[in-house]
């Protein structure tokens, strides 16, 4: 494992993905994605000479294809892929609009398929690869108002276990990370009452940091985790123990 290995991190412009991309530059050349040119430029700037930024919308097949062609031409295909990009569109199911359901499932779950399939071919050829899929604590706990998001994240965990079995013979590991309540834009919209209510349920009595999630991802893609596949690693301060 060295800087010649390319790591792709989706959703690297903000929050958890940004921390993962920065952390992985300690081991790899990192390509971080954003949905806009300005975001991709900012990713490139933050990764300096150890990485690059690229526009890629995981809910758009053409955008994914174009980005992969650019990556393959310029750097070679990634052997480490962290599927981090994800969205929420919260609503109680009785009020949920078709667009809210479809956007979340298409981005979080279909997006995973769009990203993983092309990368897998290169990993199988190299007989080495690391995939980490970012799930959420709510995949196991459930959460009212998030049936779309929870369904997508539970799907990601099932996908992880199935694919891990398909590709283990090629020395490719496939794992998931399930963060709890992490300080990012995604949680910034919660009001004080919601935050206090959540904190009261967390044994470690605080939100997690993006770096704490990034360290766990860095472990799963390292050679130290070479005998770990098909697991979902919780990074949730004890909010849910399974
Ligand atoms: N924060 C938490 O407490 C928490 C807890 C559990 C799980 N998670 C999961 O962790 C991951 C990152 O969450 P976060 O809190 O860091 O999110 P965030 O701050 O909202 O950032 C989301 C990232 O995803 C990108 N993105 C959004 N839609 C996209 C699309 N259609 N195609 C490609 N990229 C897209 C965004 O790019 P732009 O900047 O270009 O919009 C951004 O980089 C998500 O999968 C989330 O479900 C978060």
The predicted model gives 200-216 an average pLDDT of: 97
What was the pLDDT predicted at 186? 87
Enclosing domain of residue 151: 6-235
CB atoms < 10 A from the CB of 115, how many?
A: 25
Give the total number of structural domains in the chain.
1
pLDDT, position 7? 98
Residue 241 lies in a domain: no
181, part of any domain = yes
132 touches ligand 1 (CB under 6 Å): no
1 domain residue, yes or no: no
Ligand 1 centroid from CA 87, angstroms: 6
The CATH number of the domain where 68 resides is what?
Answer: 3.40.50.720
User: In the predicted model, is pLDDT for residue 3 greater than 70?
Assistant: no
Q: Which two tokens stand for residue 174?
A: 């496939």
Residue whose Cα lies nearest atom 23 of ligand 1: it is 11
104-143 pLDDT tens trace: 999 999 999 999 999 999 999 999 999 999 999 999 999 9
Mean pLDDT in residue range 140-152: 97
The reply to whether 149 belongs to the active site is yes
Residues 6+ apart with CB under 8 A from 229: 164, 168, 173, 174, 175
32 pocket-lining for ligand 1 (C-beta < 6 Å) = no
- For the record, the structure tokens of 37 come out as 């040119």
Whether 219 maps to a domain, the answer reads yes
Query: Phi/psi of residue 52, each to 5°?
Result: -155, 160
Residue 190 pLDDT: 87
């Amino acid at each position: 494992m060295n800087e010649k290995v390319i790591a792709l991190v989706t959703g690297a412009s903000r929050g958890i993905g940004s921390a993962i991309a920065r952390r992985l530059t300690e081991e790899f050349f990192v390509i971080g994605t954003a949905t806009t040119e300005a975001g991709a430029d900012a990713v490139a700037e933050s990764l300096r000479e150890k990485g690059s930024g690229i526009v890629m919308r995981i809910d758009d097949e053409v955008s994914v294809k174009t980005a992969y062609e650019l990556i393959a031409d310029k750097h070679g295909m990634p052997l480490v892929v962290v599927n981090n990009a994800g969205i929420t569109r919260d609503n109680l199911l009785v009020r949920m609009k078709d667009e809210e359901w479809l956007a979340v499932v298409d981005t979080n779950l279909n997006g995973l398929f769009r990203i993983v399939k092309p990368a897998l071919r290169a990993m199988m050829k190299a007989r080495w690869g690391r995939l980490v899929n970012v799930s959420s604590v709510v995949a196991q706990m459930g959460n009212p108002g998030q049936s779309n998001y929870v369904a997508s994240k539970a799907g990601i965990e099932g996908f992880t276990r199935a694919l891990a079995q398909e590709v283990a013979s090629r020395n490719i590991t496939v794992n998931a990370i399930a963060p709890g309540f992490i300080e990012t834009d995604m949680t910034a919209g919660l009001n004080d009452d919601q935050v206090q209510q959540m904190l009261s349920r967390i044994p470690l009595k605080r939100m997690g940091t993006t770096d704490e999630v990034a360290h766990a991802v860095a472990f799963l893609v390292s050679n130290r985790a070479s005998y770990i596949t098909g697991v979902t690693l919780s990074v949730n301060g004890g909010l849910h123990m399974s």
